[in-house]
């Protein structure tokens, strides 16, 4: 583990490398976890392994207020996560072995990857969004997050949910985000993977996003949930297949 700083906030990170890098330039994928997630979640490790097996490097990090990184959970926002993602992309771009850069994220991290790719469309060559939580901004505008109702025009100081709190700033930031605009601004290739039994983020969100993107492949995993408890092998197979096609230098069957 090592530290990447983002404007005074330490982000704890790991770099996963292919077994044989052979001193050549390889693609680097920045991998983002979801809400309450962390960089060692099993589905993230599986996706990272799938990518390194194709010959890419993966930079995984705990984002603001999560895992071992700095910041308080209750004070995290999508703006802070976008800033973190941009800092991670900056770090990846400076790696001496880096060729092309990619963003991958799960759920709220998938949404963050989509939003950041739109801002960095000149240097992000592709996006892998795993069960992306695209509905968060619209839900925040409707006054419904985490199964809680609130007045969207009089944002509460915080939402209390389970034994945690989430400040109103999370809601205010989410309300300001236009996901469709980000989808329209990104012309590179996108892979979206989503289980059709996901109770946290409806698969319909990904169907809409896939329609809107100019160049998107949607892989719906039949019978799977938000973190792929049932068919993680199908997720990693979809990621590998897409990587062979869109990450230069990756190879089928490469270890």
Contact set with ligand FER (CB under 6 A): 34-35, 107-108, 133, 136, 139, 145-146, 200-201
For residues 35 and 91, which CB has a smaller minimum distance to ligand FER in the complex?
A: 35
Question: In the bound complex, what is the minimum distance in angstroms from residue 124's beta carbon to ligand FER?
Answer: 20
* Cβ distance to ligand FER smaller for residue 15 or 200: 200
Give me the least distance between CB of 154 and ligand FER, in Å please: 18
**Smallest gap, in angstroms, from Cβ of residue 160 to ligand FER?**
13
| Min separation Cβ 146 and ligand FER, Å | 5
> Which CA distances in Å does 96 have to 25, 55, 89, 243, 248?
8, 16, 13, 21, 17
In the complex with ligand FER, the residue whose CB is nearer, 18 or 137, is: 137
Smaller CB distance to ligand FER: residue 147 or 253? 147
Are residues 216 and 190 in contact, defined by beta-carbon separation less than 8 angstroms?
Answer: yes
- CB within 8 A of 30, min separation 6: which ones? 58, 59, 61, 85, 88, 89, 92, 101, 102, 103, 104, 113
- For residue 167, the cross-strand partners are 158
């Amino acid at each position: 583990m090592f530290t990447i700083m983002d404007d005074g906030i330490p982000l704890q990170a790991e770099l996963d490398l292919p077994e044989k890098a052979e001193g050549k330039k390889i693609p680097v994928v920045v991998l983002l976890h979801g809400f309450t997630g962390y960089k060692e979640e099993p589905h993230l490790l599986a996706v990272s392994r799938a990518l390194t097996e194709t010959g890419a490097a993966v930079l995984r990090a705990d984002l603001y207020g999560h895992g071992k990184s700095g910041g308080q959970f209750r004070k995290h926002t999508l703006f802070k996560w976008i800033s973190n993602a941009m800092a991670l992309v900056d770090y990846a771009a400076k790696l001496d072995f880096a060729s092309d850069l990619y963003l991958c994220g799960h759920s709220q991290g998938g949404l963050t990857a989509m939003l950041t790719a739109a801002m960095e469309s000149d240097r992000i060559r592709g996006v892998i969004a795993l069960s992306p939580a695209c509905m968060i901004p619209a839900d925040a505008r409707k006054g419904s997050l985490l199964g809680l109702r609130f007045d969207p025009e009089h944002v509460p100081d915080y939402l209390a949910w389970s034994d945690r709190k989430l400040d109103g700033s999370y809601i205010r930031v989410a309300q300001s985000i236009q996901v469709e605009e980000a989808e329209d601004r990104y012309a590179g290739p996108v892979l979206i993977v989503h289980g059709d039994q996901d109770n946290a983020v409806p698969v319909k969100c990904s169907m809409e996003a896939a329609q809107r993107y100019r160049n998107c492949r949607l892989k719906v995993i039949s019978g799977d949930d938000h973190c792929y408890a049932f068919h993680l092998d199908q997720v990693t197979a979809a990621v590998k297949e897409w990587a062979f096609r869109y990450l230069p230098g990756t190879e089928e069957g490469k270890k």
